[in-house]
Chain A
């Protein structure tokens, strides 16, 4: 009788999850959606604390301790993290969720009654959750490390495809072996966990940094599936539905991102980007032209339309506020100032939008790829601030280029192209950009923030 009341309340939290997720997918309702989903989570947690289990010892002290500790750490991390480091943070959080799925399934296996056959769906679900949780945990940590910069892209496993295939075979073999064993031997579960943890590492290491957002999204959906499997173990609908919602939406997001880069998911996982060969056109004598901030300032002031292409370089230099200030100054001079946002600019789709929103850049000034390409033909000056691959014409002209086929911002259509960059180093895809040597292109070397500050001064004086 009472359990049905609790089950009904669980249903309400499922509804809140669905409404929340739905609202998260439109800009006007997104914030509200996030709060609705959080409310659903709060409700679900409260119900799980009082739900009659039949054999409860409760141990509320342990539960409260864990929740308090986790909440304090979570809030502190969320408040302190820089907006530029958002993708890393999401990946790290995701890994922790995966770790929880891993721990739950491990204990569940440990608790399994002695002497009962292991060949059943319950054990399979538990072992599968253990596997998925482990990959999600170590995979997310590797993704975090790569984005944070303390794990180099060059750090790879030898023969990653063979190693990964072998590990996967080992995992399947272990799951089958454990299931046909007469009794549960905890050590075998630990071995399965160890192999799965290693697989998580070798699965993500070969993948290039440019593809990291896709991987994070994929791992996110893995954690969702892990949570759903744990829900199957406990016959808990909230965990099942919540987990599957994340699993399904994560998969869709992953596919959308792959489409934005014109690459297949398979291609991403195999790691085509990072293994790509040397830069095109290397060895040829190429001349780059530089521009001085004062010349550029005058040019900007007297042009009628300026477009900014922001990239990761702007993000790391934290230059979005300075760019916005430059925007206001030039607008006062009657310059039409807009931003061209490539879907995969930065380290995550929508990353640039978030950063520019942080700097109070008005929404209508942000143009999406197609719109921007149309307007670029009538643009006088394009400022490419720390973006590389998203403006690389090789994506259109050079079929041998690893990024061939990826839609790009066609900045060379504009009358003049200025590239703000720290050095001539290549972008994330590791390929040299012919754009930098183009007729209309001039370079402004230096840290993006410092350069734009200088530019502001010059505009002021000009």
Chain B
């Protein structure tokens, strides 16, 4: 119980942000047309690659001789980069098709 209270008091600001972000995310997406579900899912997926920052911080703080952390962190960065870069590229490819047509019309 004490642990819980300490955690809440130490992270109060983060908890505020968390709650507001949940409402914000819900509001931002609430009325999206079916046509865009796939690109939106893909674009949001790319944003979830933001976890790469965690891997970067982790590696930057690691001891240069601690290969266990370095290798896991390296893997984390590589995998998350695939998610981020691939995700944005794929979304762009999908959306590109919608755009082209507009020009021709």
Residue ranges of A at the interface with B (Cβ–Cβ < 8 Å): 17-18, 20-22, 24-28, 30-31, 33-35, 37-38, 41, 44-45, 48-49, 51, 53, 55-60, 62-63, 65-67, 69-71, 73-75, 77-79, 81, 83, 86-87, 89-90, 93-94, 96-97, 99-101, 103-104, 106-108, 110-111, 117, 119-122, 124, 216-217, 220, 223-224, 226-228, 230-253, 256-257, 260, 341, 343, 348-351, 353-354, 357-358, 360-363, 366, 368
Contacts A21-B44, A71-B81 known; list 7 others, CB within 8 Å.
Answer: A21-B28, A30-B95, A83-B94, A120-B6, A239-B54, A248-B21, A250-B44
Known A45-B52, A107-B58; contact A349-B76, beta-carbon cutoff 8 A? no
Q: Are B58 and A21 in contact (CB under 8 A)?
A: no
> B56: which A residues are within 8 A, CB to CB?
45, 48-49, 63
Known A25-B40, A353-B35, A354-B94; contact A240-B47, beta-carbon cutoff 8 A? no
Interface string of B77-100 (1 = CB under 8 A from A): 111111111111111111111111
Could you list 24 A-B pairs, sorted by A, with CB under 8 Å? Answer: A17-B50, A38-B46, A45-B56, A53-B60, A59-B60, A59-B64, A70-B85, A74-B85, A77-B82, A78-B87, A90-B41, A90-B87, A97-B45, A99-B79, A100-B52, A100-B55, A104-B55, A107-B73, A224-B47, A241-B21, A242-B47, A244-B22, A360-B104, A362-B105
**Closest residue of A by beta carbon distance from B84:** A41
**Closest residue of B by beta carbon distance from A358:** B97
Q: Are B39 and A53 in contact (CB under 8 A)?
A: no
Interface string of B51-77 (1 = CB under 8 A from A): 111111111111110001110111111
- Distance in angstroms from B40 CB to nearest chain A CB is 5
CA separation between A97 and B81, bound complex, in Å?
8
- Distance in angstroms from B41 CB to nearest chain A CB is 6
